[in-house]
Amino acid sequence: VINDERTLIAVKPDGVQRRLVGQIIQRFEQRGFKLVGLKMLQVSEDLLSQHYCQLRQKPFYPSLLQYMTSGPVVVMVWEGLNVVQTSRAMVGHTNPAEAQAGTVRGDFSFHVSRNVVHASDSLEGAQREIQLWFQGNELLNWVCCDQTSTYEL
C-alpha cells in the first residue's frame, strides 16, 4: 500500500435528497482518491450520539439529531495521500456562506444546518469515525490500476 491514510466522508440527508451523491463521489474519484468502503443507511440516534459525542451539550444538538435521522445518508471511506486534509479542503467551510466556490459546500450548500456532507477533521477523528461506521470486513484493500501513475513509488 502506497499510502493507507483513510478518511470518512458522509453525504448527509439533504445531499442524498437532492441527488448529489454521484457528483460528490466523482469529485473524490477525480482527485485520485480510492474508494474502499461505501454504504447507504438510515442512521440511528445511538450511532449519531457516538459520532457527535463532542456536540452533545450544544444547544443545536437535538435539531442536528433530527436532521441526521430525517433520511438516508451515504457514508464512504476514501484512501490516499493526505486524504484527511485534502478532503477537508475539498468539502469547504462548515458555514456555506464562508465556503469557497469549487468546494462541495460552496457549490451545493445553502445553510450551516444543511451543509450536504461530513468529512473527518483529523487522522485520529477519521480512525475513530471509520471504526464507528464500518466493520473491518466492509472495507476493501485493493490495488487501483492507476496507482503507479498517480503516486510516486
- Whether residue 148 is annotated as binding a ligand: the answer is no
pLDDT tens digits for range 6-60: 999 999 999 999 999 999 999 999 999 999 999 999 999 999 999 999 999 999 9
Three-state secondary structure call for residue 38: strand
Domain ranges, residue 125: 6-151
Partners of residue 72 on adjacent β-strands: none
* Domain count within the chain: 1
Contacts of 41 (CB under 8 A, 6+ apart): 72, 73, 75
pTM score: 0.92
Backbone φ and ψ for 73, nearest 5 degrees, come out as -120, 155
Residue 147 resides in a domain: yes
Catalytic residue check, 118: yes
- Whether residue 3 is annotated as binding a ligand: the answer is no
Q: Catalytic one among 51, 93, 111, 118?
A: 118
Q: What CATH number is given to the structural domain containing 86? A: 3.30.70.141
